[in-house]
Structure 1
Amino acid sequence: MATNNSYVSQGMQTTAIHAGAEPDSATHASSPSIVMASSFVVKDATTPFSPENVEEQEAFFYTREGNPTVQRLEKKLAALENAEACAAFGSGMAAISALMFYLLKPDDHVIMSDVAYVGAAELMKGLVPSLGIKVTRVDTTDLTAVQNAVLPETKLIHIETPCNPIVRLTDIKSIVDIACAAGAKVSVDSTFATPVATRPIELGVDFVIHSLSKYLCGHGDAIGGAVIGSRNEISNLRDLVIHLGGVISPFNAWLIMRGITTLPIRMKAHEDNALKVARFLEEHPKVKRVIYPGLPSHPQYELAKQQMRNFSGMIAFQTSEPLSIAQAFAKHLKTIHYAVSLGHQCSLIYYVPTDEILQTSFALTEAQVNSYRSYAGDGIFRFSVGLEDAEDICKDLDLSIAKS
């Protein structure tokens, strides 16, 4: 997909800072301002409004249909992914839902990673099939299984890489090859990776999804989502933003845009810390297994080196006596927060029991359950390594585990 992105020849950090952040035309302010208006005065009564051209709008009407601050965020995200266009949403789930409802109709078929963000997994287990859409869950590390799942009515293959919560990878380019042969599209939830690690559009993917609440915002203070792709597809998808109303607040858009300016620097620090913490955990007597793409012990380490320019800050690990350790973490952690979510400046950890997530969120075959357990055992700790000093993170883990 060719782009008209003027930042494509510039570095990632330059793009993160300057894309969508041109000085304000009215005030000449160096930093982008927040336009919190819900509606806008129109001076030319004949000015047409077209949702298809909203990313190029200069005259705005109503923030559900377009807003200058949201537009700036969308330009920045498209530039970071080296794509033509972006549609921002009020949450990552709003972005995922809109893409599914845009692409899929009754009697269509979608192939989806058998392990995915729980909100997406539950959507594809419940609401989507109830609309007459067939969903096949596949271990997308098994390319033969993906190929065998393709049907004449397959319209989409949806993957996560690395996937939530077990940090398993999928070979993006191989999935694209399978989809192209079948006449299907590919969407990738790249929240764990971020554009710093992977630019799926450059590998032939049609749509990239991000939960902006995570690494892109980076500070745990705003919720948002995005779908990124070709100008034509995003223009058509934008109707769902307008008509379903899943819009992002301009204030949240501004916070996320501000967070993105330090994304490459933060991701380097997240990676450095995660590697130190992962090595520490591998040596800990109560840790049974560590899953991190930057470790040679990761079963897809070679793919990680090939596909990721940054290994991110997400670690999954198994321990002996996990429930006791989870209780100790909840009671005794000081530097690390025992909380859900990820990608914040502070470290976040949470225990994910295998039986519970299999029963509530994932509907897997016996073989898929066994594959999941090969990563997670009876349960894993999903650990989003933050930007604190690595030594303090390791000390906090060690002292808390000792109290379990």
Structure 2
Amino acid sequence: MDSYLALETLLTHADADADDPAVAPTIHQSVNYSAASAEDFDALNSDVNPARYYRRYGNPTQARLERIVAAAEGAEAALATASGMGATTTTLLTFVSQGDHVVAQRSMYGGTLSLLRDIAPRFGIEVTFVDQTDTAAFEQAIKPNTKMIMLETPSNPLLQLTDMAAVTALARTHGILTFADNTIATPVNQKPLDQGVDLVMHSVTKAISGHADVQAGIVVGSKELIDRIWKTHTMAGSIVSPFDAWLAVRGLRTLSMRMERQNRCAQALADYLVTHPAVRSVNYPGLTEHPQHDLAKRQMSGFGGVLSFELSGGETAAEQLISALRLPVRASSLGGTRSTLVRPAAMWSNELTEEQLEEAGVAGGLIRFAVGLEHEDDLINDLRQGLSVTGAVG
């Protein structure tokens, strides 16, 4: 697909299939495909990432999803998986082995932190966690056996940023692979490959699908790197279902429009909360008060649909607010049509200990608010009445 086309056009046309005249994508549910001859069968079996051999190896509906996300991120290739953690784990297993070292951020998605803290060391993989806001900390953490630097920017749930251009330049001088989670920003707001990142991952479950009805992940990058991940992927078995892939393709058609609205709504909520007397702090890169606002303006075109904040009343006030709100639902995940909010400390309590949560900067009273498609005025009015329960009216 021509790279000069706008993102909105790529999301609509990047999966065009000359062999399939259907306007709506076809769901290829079959597990395997027949071959007319021994030669045809050998050809199917020998192709890298074949879409018509066996579903664990690939699927035509999955291939549509991969083409669209690769085009949206400006990548050569993509590989869809059964979940975001499937994409992260398979990538880690591909490029890191026993005796290797990984540098990662302290502020990251709880599942990724649990993978790096609890599982990677069991396989002899050493991990050093650093403050992502300090580029020098990445440099100081590098060792002769460092094979990967893992990034997530903005981070979940603190909305901290990593200077991707600076960190990737550092990584290149040492021959280290960089891997970034772009789930919160989406390719609408940020393209890490343009900042020098080697591999970019999304939890397709979130904004890419956008309707809270898909479980999938994806990793994009050069064809050479994606082919290497695919070989691990076929053995690890984190295979996206054709129906989930089809739903994700459907969601991608409206990603730009949804993110434009969620960017605007999250900014309005952050602007309201930052002036409220009951609010201790607000984390959102679109705020001029955010310590990395200038970096956000430099490497992002929009600031995303997720914010987090703490109330002066701590965990008790946070629970009071969550219970008092009428529009957003208390639920995990983000990027859907309906706003969700949650205390990350409660959500990740089965993955991280209290000490690990504290080290990651996740306070017990922190609230993560992922805006949906409601009107911002309605959400602000709901916050106003909810915050009045905590004893302060703004």
Using the size of structure 2 for normalisation, the TM-score is 0.93
SS in 2 for 1:126: helix
Counterpart among 384, 389, 392 of residue 403 in structure 1? 389
1:224 aligned residue: 216
1:75 aligned residue: 67
Deviations 1:174-207 (A, max 9, x none): 0101101111010001101111111111221110
Matches of 1:227 and 1:183, distance apart in 2: 20
2:206 aligned residue: 214
1:34 aligned residue: 27
SS in 2 for 1:157: strand
The gaps in structure 2 that reach 5 residues or longer are none
Question: Is 1:112 aligned with 2:98?
Answer: no
Counterpart among 107, 131, 136 of residue 128 in structure 2? 136
1:3 aligned residue: none
2:369 aligned residue: 383
- Report the alpha carbon displacement of residue 357 of structure 1 after superposing the two structures with TM: 5.9
Partners of 2:132 and 2:160 within 8 A in 1: no
Task: Give the percent of matched residue pairs that are identical in Structure 1 and Structure 2.
Answer: 35
Matches of 1:22 and 1:312, distance apart in 2: 31
- Report the alpha carbon displacement of residue 362 of structure 1 after superposing the two structures with TM: 8.0
Matches of 2:240 and 2:316, distance apart in 1: 40
Partners of 1:166 and 1:291 within 8 A in 2: yes
Matches of 1:154 and 1:17, distance apart in 2: 40
1:13 aligned residue: 8
Partners of 1:347 and 1:388 within 8 A in 2: yes
Spell out the pairing of 1:4-403 with structure 2 (5 A cutoff). Answer: 6-22=1-17, 25-26=19-20, 28-47=21-40, 48-50=43-45, 53-54=48-49, 57=50, 60-353=52-345, 360=352, 369=359, 373=361, 379-403=365-389
Partners of 1:121 and 1:362 within 8 A in 2: no
Partners of 2:344 and 2:367 within 8 A in 1: yes
Deviations 1:351-379 (A, max 9, x none): 2349x8699258669xx94xx55xx6553
Matches of 1:112 and 1:262, distance apart in 2: 32
Partners of 2:189 and 2:304 within 8 A in 1: yes
Using the size of structure 1 for normalisation, the TM-score is 0.91
Partners of 2:316 and 2:365 within 8 A in 1: no
- Report the alpha carbon displacement of residue 49 of structure 1 after superposing the two structures with TM: 3.1
Deviations 1:41-73 (A, max 9, x none): 22232122357622xx46x12111111000110
Matches of 1:21 and 1:329, distance apart in 2: 46
SS in 1 for 2:44: coil
Matches of 1:363 and 1:155, distance apart in 2: 27
The gaps in structure 1 that reach 5 residues or longer are 1-5
Matches of 1:199 and 1:51, distance apart in 2: 33
Letter aligned with residue 254 of structure 2: T
1:199/1:50 Cα in 2 relative to 1: closer, same or farther (>3 Å)? farther
Deviations 1:112-171 (A, max 9, x none): 111111111001001111111111111121111111111111111001000111000000
Matches of 2:351 and 2:118, distance apart in 1: 13
Letter aligned with residue 10 of structure 1: L
Partners of 2:315 and 2:366 within 8 A in 1: no
SS in 2 for 1:210: strand
Matches of 1:363 and 1:182, distance apart in 2: 32
